[in-house]
Chain A
């Protein structure tokens, strides 16, 4: 059989691996196997390309890929760096990690575009570059570069190296900016030779600056949506590469991710009851915090000590724990599970209520609790939890804020109005563990803390939980 036929079999297997892998990733029992199947498909497609890919040389002869030393060298370096950083990363820093890996794919697509365009411009011999071929290259380059720069900014923001930055009318500025990028791409195609190559590098830089300007104004709470969106951008950039090389596996892989990523982005926006446009314009970010309402009945919070909290929970029938980002930051998932076990031994029914956007990524809390061996059936999704709060004695909120803010239901002026929340105020008592009275990620006040049912338990989640465990044991 010819190499070309074998290569196409590799690509078919690769594409099937991606589809089956994604399908299995969407089910809890098969997810891990699905990831491995997708990885095997990827490996077959990659090694098939290295050994079976053929192209026509200058004089028309069939050639195999060269520079194998460089290719394998690059792959070894990438594998080592990728494995180490993926193994070392803290579970709390997972979103940043996904973001930076996404950026790597984006810059890879950008570099491919640069090389292909340089090649094209050098060999066009003065012919017009106003072709579909060069358009495909440039669009892939632009999307990849935007995804790269945007992902780096998202990474820095989530890592806390960078705050939100926006100025008045930035959304209009960004729209104009994007139009300018397109005009510039047109200009690059209209000139030719070495000049076009130079301008193409300028275009790359401008696209990167657009990526920065695109992500800068978007509030930290919206970063998951942005990462998911940039994820689908990179997918589309990969698909443009597939279109360029008539490469089926790049095309299917890229489009699959582009489509699935877009749907996931929309699902996340739905969970926050906001439109994608609203997220991108960044009305949620720092800019609006000043106009947000403050607690009218502010100042009358009631504190509670550790031992009182422990007694409250030990003698309750049902306790629901609401984990938030504060739990993740404090790395308190294991000690939280310990508290759950202690209470269960005392005959208390303990469950967890998981808001879809608790933490910094959808499912972030589930990953953390799974790390601590908390079993699935104790995790309640939002609707199920809301049905159970009425029969709950104590709700323990661990570092969650916006997802339990009643303003989302009651105050139309609030920026989070309309977002579905965990209706914890239906329970008999609410104990809120926070480090301080600082506002949540959305930067708005929370009336829940001033409610008659609420008791504030200040302190670092890990420390407080440890003390709670000791107290419950002693009871």
Chain B
């Protein structure tokens, strides 16, 4: 209960809630008129964008204490997986869209 209260009174929390609500509308708005032919590349592009989770892994890895091997290994793996998501996602999307381009 206290936590819910803090979500609504703490300025930082409240700002994040506004970001969330507005981002939901933006997310729906920008893809609403997408033609069927672009569904696959769009899904793939969105897939790459949620790779932004890599920033969390960088923050975690950058603060991992030198004497905690387990945390370091987990953090390192998180960076590798996050990069795979970002790079693989964007490259695959670009490959798909490249085919659309050379139509003429």
A residues at B contact (CB < 8 Å): 14, 18-19, 21-23, 25-28, 31-32, 34-36, 38-39, 42, 45-46, 49-50, 53, 55, 64-68, 70-71, 73-75, 77-79, 81-83, 85-87, 89, 91, 94-95, 97-98, 101-102, 104-105, 107-109, 111-112, 114-116, 118-119, 131-132, 135, 144, 227-228, 231, 234-235, 237-239, 241-261, 263-264, 267-268, 271, 354, 356, 361-364, 366-367, 370-371, 373-376, 379, 381
Contact = CB atoms under 8 A, between A and B. Distances in A.
Contacts of B30: 19, 22-23, 26, 256, 260
Contacts of A135: 3
A108 B96 contact: no
21 contacts: A18-B52, A22-B31, A28-B35, A46-B86, A79-B83, A81-B84, A101-B47, A102-B50, A104-B85, A108-B81, A112-B57, A115-B64, A131-B3, A144-B53, A256-B23, A257-B50, A260-B27, A260-B30, A264-B43, A371-B99, A376-B37
Contacts of B64: 66-67, 115
Interface string B27-55: 11011111111111111111111111111
A75 B51 CA distance: 12
A89 B95 CA distance: 10
Contacts of B83: 74-75, 77-79, 82
A60 to B, nearest CB: 15
Given A67-B61, A109-B56, A111-B75, A246 B12 contact: yes
A116 B33 CA distance: 39
Interface of B: 3, 6-7, 12, 16, 19-20, 23-28, 30-64, 66, 70-72, 74-104
B48 A112 contact: no
A98 B59 contact: no
Nearest to A358: B36
A431 to B, nearest CB: 25
Given A83-B88, A259-B25, 15 more contacts: A19-B26, A32-B98, A35-B97, A39-B90, A74-B83, A94-B40, A104-B85, A115-B60, A243-B16, A254-B53, A258-B50, A261-B43, A361-B39, A371-B99, A374-B103
A104 B76 CA distance: 13
Q: Which 8 A-B pairs have the closest CB atoms?
A: A78-B83, A65-B62, A259-B27, A74-B79, A132-B3, A82-B88, A362-B39, A253-B52
B26 A42 contact: no
